[in-house]
Chains A and B, each alone.
Chain A
Amino acid sequence: MKQKTDVLQGTLALMVLKTLAVLGPLHGYGIARRIEQISGDLLAVNQGTLYPVLLKLEQEGAIASDWGASENNRRARFYRLTREGRKQLQIETQGWEQTAAIIGRFFAVKAEDLS
């Protein structure tokens, strides 16, 4: 149970960072929508889980937030990537790609390849 949320949080954090890197400053709802669009059902049910992740990233200094006005002039909190966040994104992207590649290779291996 715990582990699953950890994985979810980890991936979610990476998605948040990437979203902000691509789209620039965005409010919580915007990030949620974006992730929903791309990942499908990951956030379809529990959009709320995004907020603890945002807080964690902010506390780590990867993102910063300010109050601003949303597209229809409501007060909203906008998140943006910091320099540190950019660095973190870069590192984690590399790490992720590496992991994905390794896992991919493992899945590709067939029994006869090992003999």
Chain B
Amino acid sequence: MRSLRRFLTRLFNSATRRAQEERLREEIEEHIALQTEENLCGGLSSVEARRQAMLKFGGVEAMKQDYRAERGLQLIESLLQDLRLALRLLRKSPGFTAVAVVTLAMAIGANAVVFGVMDALILRPLNAPQADSLYGTEYGVDTGFQSYPNYVDLRDRNRSFDDLAAFTFAFVGLDTGDNPSRAAGFATTGNYFDVLGIQPYLGRFFHSSDEHGRNSAPYLVLSYAYWHSHFQDDRGAVGRVVRLNKHPFTIIGVAPPEFRGTLSFVSVDFFMPIVNQEQVNGENLLDDRGNTHAVFETVGHLKLGVTPAQAVADLNAVGAYLEKTYPKEFAQKSSSLARAGLTSFGRAVRAFMAGLMLLAGLILLAACTNLGSLFAARAADRSREVALRLALGASRTRILRQLLTEAVLISLAGGTVGLMGSIVLLRQMSMWQPFPGAPIHVPLNPDARIYGVALVLALVSGFLFGIVPVRQVLRTDPYQIVKAGSTGRVGRQITLRELLLGVQIAICAVLVTSSTVAVRGLARSLHGNYGFETRNAMLTFTNLAMAGYTGDEVLAMQKRMIDAMETIPGVERVGLVNQYPPLIYAAGSRVNIFKEETRDRRPSNIASMPYRFDVSPEYFDAAGTGLLSGRTFSWHDDKSAPAVAVANREFAGTLFGSVPDAIGRYFALQDGTRVQIVGVVEDGKYLSLTEDQQPAIFLASLQLPSSQSSCLVVRSHRDPQQLTAAIRSKMRELDAGLPVDISTWNTMLDVVLFPSRVATVSLGVLGAMGAMLSITSIFGMAAYSVSKRLKELGIRMALGAQRKEVLQAALGRAFKLLAFGSGAGLLLGILASRVLAFIVYSASPRDPLVLAAVVLAMLLLGLLATWIPARRALSIDPMMLLREE
């Protein structure tokens, strides 16, 4: 009770500080006056009487300190005092404050952004109950793909999962009555929602009990976002019948808002039963054990008490059984488990994010060392003030606390600014859909976690750079400093500060090197040779299944489309490729090729697994793929003619030794069809720009079962926008109900260039930050060393030193550091770029342009940073200076 009352009084007192102070002053005066009077009565002189009275009273300031401590809440009060002082000091040097805040804001902002992305992609589990035990299975080394019959066996024969669900992508034309538009969703097994434990937001979900064989469950579950944007939150949407590729489906429910499917980087529009996938794909994959692309991934909860290792062993056992039972269709590969959400991309994404986080951390560390040295310099400049305060009785902890308050104040300001910037950035990234037509989308919601991380980072970095000058303060001997004045101790020893600076410059050089390497690589990859010409080529994607074409209608319609395109003025060539042309995100299905004489076509006897593209006769001309030998297809290579193929140089070389040897030779497909090679074309890139040279085989689409999904390659020098409009109107003339996607081949390349783009942009941003940090730190060091040595430089000049010598004395050390740091950084950067080569096409650090750019950049950096200090050093007037002291 008593202590509470005291606390409240103290709180009140803190507020009414001034009046209290006045009262104490009066009381002390009164006390001393009374004592003096008494001393006078005792016969002392008036001066001596007062002196004795004061002596008897004791140290007034120390007592006041005690008194204040007793009166108010000392901690809060001195904190407020420190804050006020810190604010005053910071306002006095706005340049320093701005540099410090901006530096930290960038560093903390970068960390917050990277953390935000990492949080969304890696740390946050899927929005499903008990996501911790949710795993995806992977056959083989790195993909979750498998065939539907294999999934069924896996589901029924494993003993590790509660239940297994499977899903794959479904790209459809969704027609709600008036305007068919493309939509992307998951075709899932009936038990999908039950396995995940998700409850519908509206209506109901489909279940295993709804599956009664092929095309038996025409039900559709919408994602909340799609329902919101396409049905305007209309609750009446449930029960409506819409058309998916012309087939009627009933909307039975809406998924909850937070559930966007089982891939963290994908937001799907809808969920449909996988048993109905034939209606949207046009081919039945449910019974084809050999088709390993029917299921994208299987997911399920591990049974209680089953470890992932046990589950992997179990999966391998099922795999061994399958291989023994279906030797022709199934080749056992080692299985593994992956946390649901990122599937097989997990490793790459994790590695990339870890790399980014490391870089961002380095940036923050560099910023801290930078600010630390700035603070140390400030503390040194204030050594007289500190000494004076110590002499007057301030405790060292109090002075340290004051310095730390200043540091934390700056770090909090920087953290706030950085956080605000990162929130804006994250919001923008959240709205960004990198690839048109693909549902790839990562929702980034800046939340408490990110705020917390930014705050902690700000505080930690504040303390980090705040404690740099601590030793300096603790060592301060007030007597010496007050007596001698501030003399720069020009050290011969390499200080910690300089070492840190060197490291920082090296980090900066690494970043600058790798970002220039990445930028160069990217620029080059836009003009690289891919085995086809992406410029002046327009891609027109259609899926005839979306408009209900089947069987022979498909070939006829495709021929009509090609003819229609050719009538557009300015169009030079038109070719057609089934599914997707090379270097588009879904391109590159592989095909099993056997030697002609192989009778037993089991997986272990496969001669080669080239990429396979089914193309029309004019495709090679339209794509700009050069023929090396033989011929390409003609319209006579149809179903009645013998099967022919065009190989790329790599395929011809590996299978038959050389290009001329390959012409006229035969190979066999899985089903035993003998195919003759009639031509060889140049090598190219097929799935990614950084892949090693892969074999590829082109088959004549006319000789194959028709594929409803196809892409027209239209070559023309016309303006892409006009051309797009012309193509669109032509297609509408042919069939107004067919959704069409048109874009240039170059824009579609964005997808394969995506990783290198991301790498380039992030490295570029971090590199720019590193450069800024280096500028401020070199500037800080140079400015400090000039100001410390002003007197010495003045004397040198007075004694006749030349400008060159003065500059050398003032800035030599800074430049040496810059040179050493840059050299080390350049070397490291070249090493790091080898890693980059995996992400960025033709990223080569041994590019003279890169080396020149880096050296130039670092030089420019140094010049920029030392310009002002150099000016200051040169403008020293020795007479003025010597007179001043």
Are A61 and B2 in touch, CB under 8 angstroms? yes
Main secondary structure of the interface of B (DSSP, over half): helix
A105 interface hit (Cβ, 8 Å): no
User: Could you tell me the distance in whole angstroms from the C-beta of B179 to the nearest C-beta in chain A?
Assistant: 78
Identify the closest chain A residue to B53 (Cβ): A47
Q: Choose, from A14-22, A50-58, A92-100, A107-115, the stretch at the interface.
A: A50-58
Q: Is the CB of B67 within 8 A of A51?
A: yes
Report the bound CA distance from A60 to B10 in whole Å.
10
Question: A29-B34, A59-B10, A74-B33 in contact; A51/B28 too (CB < 8 A)?
Answer: yes
Separation of A74 and B763 alpha carbons in the complex (Å): 77
- Of B10, B27, B59, the residue contacting A77 (CB under 8 A) is B27
- B822–chain A nearest beta-carbon distance, Å: 54
Confirm or deny: B133 has a beta carbon within 8 angstroms of a beta carbon on chain A: no
A interface footprint on B46-68 (CB within 8 Å = 1, 0 otherwise): 00000000001111101100110
A59 with B5, Cβ < 8 A, contacts A28-B30, A76-B30 known: yes
Closest chain B residue, CB of each to CB of A32: B31
Does B23 count as interface, using CB distance less than 8 angstroms? yes
Do A29 and B5 touch across chains, with their CB atoms under 8 A apart? Answer: no
> Which residue in A27, A44, A52 is a CB contact (below 8 Å) of B63?
A52
Q: Which residues of B contact A60 (CB under 8 A)?
A: 2, 5-6
Q: Does B431 contact A (CB under 8 A)?
A: no
Interface size for B (C-beta < 8 A) is: 28
CB pair A70–B58 under 8 Å, yes or no, is no
Nearest Cβ in chain B — how far from A81, in angstroms? 16
The answer on a CB contact under 8 Å between A46 and B30 is no
Question: B26: CB under 8 A from chain A?
Answer: yes
Asked if A47 contacts B10 (CB within 8 A), the reply is no
Which chain B residues lie closer than 8 Å to A51 at the CB level? 24, 27-28, 63, 67
Which residue from A47, A59, A61, A77 sits with its C-beta under 8 Å from B30? A77
Cβ contacts B28-42/A at 8 Å (1 or 0 each): 101101110100000
* Contact between chains at B9 and A59 (CB < 8 Å): yes
B69 beta carbon closer than 8 Å to chain A: yes
Q: Does B665 contact A (CB under 8 A)?
A: no
- The reply to whether B58 and A45 form a contact with Cβ atoms under 8 Å apart is yes
Given A47-B58, A75-B26, A77-B27, A52 and B69 contact (CB-CB distance below 8 Å): yes
A67 to chain B, nearest CB (A): 9
A48 in complex: contacting residue of B23, B30, B59, CB < 8 Å: B59
A61 CB contacts on chain B under 8 angstroms: 2, 5
B288 at the interface (CB under 8 A from A): no
Q: Does A49 contact B (CB under 8 A)?
A: yes
A48 and B58 in contact, given A32-B31, A75-B30 (Cβ under 8 angstroms): yes
Contact present for A27 and B6 (CB under 8 Å):
no
Bound together, the chains give a CA A49 to CA B59 distance in angstroms of 9
Scoring A45, A52, A75, A77 by chain B CB atoms within 10 A of each residue's CB, the highest score goes to A52
Whether B56 contacts A44 by the Cβ 8 Å rule is yes
Give the docked Cα–Cα distance between A72 and B41 (Å): 14
Any A CB within 8 A of the CB of B674? no
Cβ 8 A contact of B56, one of A45, A52, A70: A45
Q: Which residues of B contact A49 (CB under 8 A)?
A: 58, 63, 66
- Docked complex Cα distance between A29 and B53 (Å): 11
Given A28-B31, A60-B6, A70-B30: A55 and B56 interface contact (C-beta under 8 Å): no
Question: Cβ of A27: which chain B residues have Cβ within 8 Å of it?
Answer: 30
Question: Within 8 Å of chain A (Cβ to Cβ): is B71?
Answer: yes
**Are A52 and B66 in touch, CB under 8 angstroms?**
yes
- The reply to whether the CB of B661 lies closer than 8 angstroms to some CB of chain A is no
Q: Does B563 have its Cβ within 8 Å of any Cβ on chain A? A: no
Q: Which residues from chain B contact A47 at a C-beta distance below 8 Å? A: 31, 35, 56-58
Interface pairs (28), CB distance under 8 Å: A27-B30, A28-B31, A29-B34, A29-B35, A32-B31, A45-B58, A47-B56, A47-B58, A48-B28, A48-B57, A48-B62, A48-B63, A49-B66, A52-B66, A52-B69, A52-B70, A55-B67, A55-B70, A59-B9, A59-B10, A60-B5, A61-B2, A70-B34, A74-B30, A75-B30, A76-B27, A77-B27, A77-B30
User: When A and B form their complex, which 7 residue pairs have the shortest distance between CB atoms, in order from nearest?
Assistant: A46-B58, A48-B63, A48-B58, A29-B34, A52-B70, A52-B66, A59-B9
